[in-house]
Amino acid sequence: MTMLRAAVAARAELPGARGEVSGAVRSRLLGGGPASLPGAATVARCSPYGEDLQLALHLCYELHYQGFARVPDGLEWDPGLLGVRALLEHRFESALRHDCRDRPDVDEALAALLVEPSDGSGVSHFLTSRGESWHLREYAALRSVHQLREADPHLWVVPRLRGRAKAAMAAVEYDEYGCGRAERMHSQLYADLMSGLGLDPSYGRYTDAVGAELLAASNLMSLFGLHRRLRGALVGHFAVLETTSPPAASRIAAAMRRTGAGPAAERYFDEHVEADAVHEQLVRREVVNGLLDDEPDLAPDVSFGIAATCLVEDRFSTHTVNAWSRGESALRTPLPPLPGDER
């Protein structure tokens, strides 16, 4: 367990570039001059949901978390990188607002989250009905980009809330961090899950392998969390995760048991079935309602956060299920198979 925790704590290696913009950001992190950073016209040519922009944004955001091996901590506040990050964020957020322009109000949006899709679509449904061990390993690798820092992006919003919303948010996050026990932190439980599935639990290990769909879902958390003006959107995002997690976690836990994934793999999802059922009520009644009681003008932002989260998660789900349905890997680079794995 000591070696496992050391691996998880190590800084990630810089992932390879996926285009002109991510290549320029990567070069700056490795010691290149600010003159090589892309300008507004270059960023504007990037697909807002594409590999190049989403990786570049991930590289910028990671400086605010664990950072990268051989990248100086001082670059977190490098003016050139912050300027590029602002351009990337504007491109991403503008696309999200355009694609989520027809959205319901907060109450209707929250009610819709409680309705399961009638066609049984989605990653957790696929894993329950057809998932094999290699699908479960891929899913764990895909989600590891943000699950190994699970609650961190949401903590940015705590000092930006007041009263009921702040108290309830802190209570939920206390559970996410293991109620004061390091071995029970959800990020550590996820690392244990990965180890149980024969995956490398090192922080950032699979970033090179995941595509833009997952990076967008991960980047959305940081976009909302790092900007005070988007505190309402972050609360909406959090409401989606806590509301949809229990049924999805229950299905994936069943898939883990069916495939014999082992107790560490089951434990992570069992924990979320129980904990998130309580969290969902706290988030809806205290965090969302508390925020809107204090700042009713933020209702459109909460609605936007819900819609944007559903959008990026649907894109990730569609990409993943489509690849698996074709018998293909959902990763950019497939995992080496374990002995006995059938593909």
| Confidence check: pLDDT of 342 > 60 | no
Region 235-260: what's the mean pLDDT? 91
| Confidence check: pLDDT of 277 > 70 | no
Domains of the chain: 2-99 (no CATH), 106-325 (1.20.910.10)
- Is there a contact between 265 and 136 (Cβ–Cβ < 8 Å)? yes
pLDDT of residue 343: 57
- Is there a contact between 343 and 134 (Cβ–Cβ < 8 Å)? yes
Residue that the structure tokens 């990337």 belong to: 88
Q: How far apart are CA 19 and CA 38, in angstroms?
A: 11
pLDDT of residue 6: 41
Residue type (1 letter), 5: R
Residue 118: which pLDDT band, with cuts at 50, 70 and 90? low
pLDDT in tens, 7-32: 445 789 999 999 999 999 999 999 98
pLDDT in tens, 315-324: 999 999 999 9
Return the closest-CA partner of residue 57 out of 209, 208, 207, 216.
216
Give the three-state DSSP class for 230.
Answer: helix
Give the three-state DSSP class for 12.
Answer: strand
| Confidence check: pLDDT of 2 > 60 | no
Q: Phi/psi class of residue 165: alpha, beta or left (left: φ > 0; alpha: ψ in -120 to 50)?
A: alpha
Query: How is residue 308 written in tokens?
Result: 């944007």
pLDDT of residue 280: 78
Give the three-state DSSP class for 46.
Answer: coil
pLDDT of residue 340: 67
- Is there a contact between 300 and 311 (Cβ–Cβ < 8 Å)? no
User: What average pLDDT is seen over the chain?
Assistant: 92
- Is there a contact between 200 and 191 (Cβ–Cβ < 8 Å)? no
Q: How far apart are CA 318 and CA 20, in angstroms?
A: 27
Region 166-194: what's the mean pLDDT? 92
Residue 3: which pLDDT band, with cuts at 50, 70 and 90? very low
